[in-house]
Structure 1
């Protein structure tokens, strides 16, 4: 129960990603990824030093573990940026949000995990709520944007595989995420140098937004999610993950960057209903 709640904290943090990103000005996406991931790596290193821990305790992991960490953290973000570049952002985001559904589906392949009927219904309700949330926003799946759509689907596949396979590595400490972020930051800076023009934040607000991203949705959330995936109820977290686009939209509305519509209200009912259904096992245990 405790690990599932910790994993749910990642979902809350991810809901602030869109809002915080709007405050980062014109900073290019790969540069922003490099900045936030570098911040996470430095903060993790500082934590190790403050606790007088040997960094090798976290960094000395098998090549397969490093490959999975880099595949999940950098691979997901790189594919997402490709999707946004090659297709409209609304369509790309909608396809990307298949990952909670895929996590629940893939979890059935894990030893000792059993997929119940209400878990399936829960994620379908969440998916339906997310689709409703995007209605009325001039969405059109133009075949000309197929490469971007495929990249968005690859995003969903990448994050769901990374999340589910993390369950198979219970002995890998969550602190190792700091090392994975360092490697992902290096790749992001290389990509930035090759394909982007450097634009630094132009105000205190923009710098604070970058800091908040590194501490929260684009950094700290990965540690919470790792704990939830390894020790929590993976199916319940998959159902709860559909709260991310809804909470993100509500935050944008709260800060005057969106409007409350019937789509938002309907999405609230569907996603909250799915979350309640998907966490049935947790309530019984509680």
Structure 2
């Protein structure tokens, strides 16, 4: 798969997840939270498992272990978003969870001792400033939902990094399917423990569930696992810059959510920080290529 196809795949993923905030808000308005997640990921697992059942025949203990860990992380991410949407807007949620693009390189430094680039620091400072404008009210306090959505961004970054390690050792599609299955299983257990599980009762609820299951889960999570075979986790995280934009556009079109002037400025800083980080990273790669051009096979490097 060439880089253009991978970029298109990631673009479709970000578009799907941009819509997911609206569908989760629709579903959580009338369904209990873990019940919603159990149905979303359970249906996604059944669909992907039936399509790619041959892949599941060859899985080993390593893949199952990674799937369980990823399922637990993703449940934490989605639960934070669903509960967060109770006290924050769809637009805010999209921008705050979109900070995944900043958290991926930061966590890669902490967990894998990767060097933190200047581009990442610059982008993070701008984005954090934007968060303040976007979410702080006149009392200089965050809404509880804002904090949960930021936590979801951290969890999503962790999911990307663990997935990147998992697909190096296992079949990428099998990893995606297993993560869906474990997320659904854990959510179902919590739903039976703390809620009264039920199937959707209206066409609106079924629309939200099926959209979340088939598009935002079955397609997006499998596509993400596949894309990590071709690009690094940090690069994938940076390419998710468009997710909060899609979330805000969706919220504006379908539910008429509008940010305040302060909110728009904060959102601009968040996206600006993300895109600036990506641009500085690109400039660095170009500079390295110009400084150390690729030599013909067998030729000695001048610096040698």
TM range (shorter): 0.7 to 0.9
How many residues get paired? 276
* Maintained 8 Å contact 2:133/2:262: yes
1:164 lines up with 2:165 in the alignment: no
Instruction: Give the Å deviation of 1:201.
Output: 2.5
Q: Looking at CA atoms only, which structure, 1 or 2, has the larger radius of gyration?
A: 2
Deviation at 1:220, TM superposition (A): 2.6
Q: 1:174 aligns with which of 169, 172, 176?
A: 172
What is the root-mean-square deviation of aligned Cα atoms in Å?
A: 3.7
Residue equivalent to 2:205: 206
5 Å matches for 1:261-272? Answer: 261-267=260-266, 269-272=268-271
Deviation at 1:39, TM superposition (A): 1.2
- 1:215 to partner: Cα distance: 1.8
- Which 10-residue stretch deviates more, 108-117 or 13-22? 108-117
CA deviation digits over 1:153-178, x for unaligned, max 9? 65444332232132223132222221
Contact in 2 for aligned 1:97/1:156 (Cα 8 Å): yes
Greater relative contact order (Cα < 8 A, sep 6+): 1
Alignment of 1:101-120 (within 5 A): 101-108=102-109, 115-120=116-121
TM alignment of 1:1-286, pairs within 5 A: 1-2=3-4, 3-24=6-27, 25-49=29-53, 53-58=54-59, 61-62=62-63, 64-78=65-79, 84=84, 88-89=87-88, 99-108=100-109, 115-136=116-137, 140-141=141-142, 155-169=152-166, 170-176=168-174, 177-267=176-266, 269-280=268-279, 281=281
Deviation at 1:217, TM superposition (A): 2.6
TM-score normalised to structure 2 length:
0.72
Mapped to 2, the partners of 1:263 and 1:227 lie a distance apart of: 38
Task: Give the unaligned 5+ runs of structure 1.
Answer: none
Distance 1:252 1:29 in 2: 20
Q: CA deviation at 1:267?
A: 4.1
Query: Could you list the per-position Cα deviations for residues 16-50 of structure 1 after superposition, in whole angstroms to 9, with x for gaps in the alignment?
Result: 1221123335111111111111111111122125x
| TM-score (structure 1 length as normaliser) | 0.76
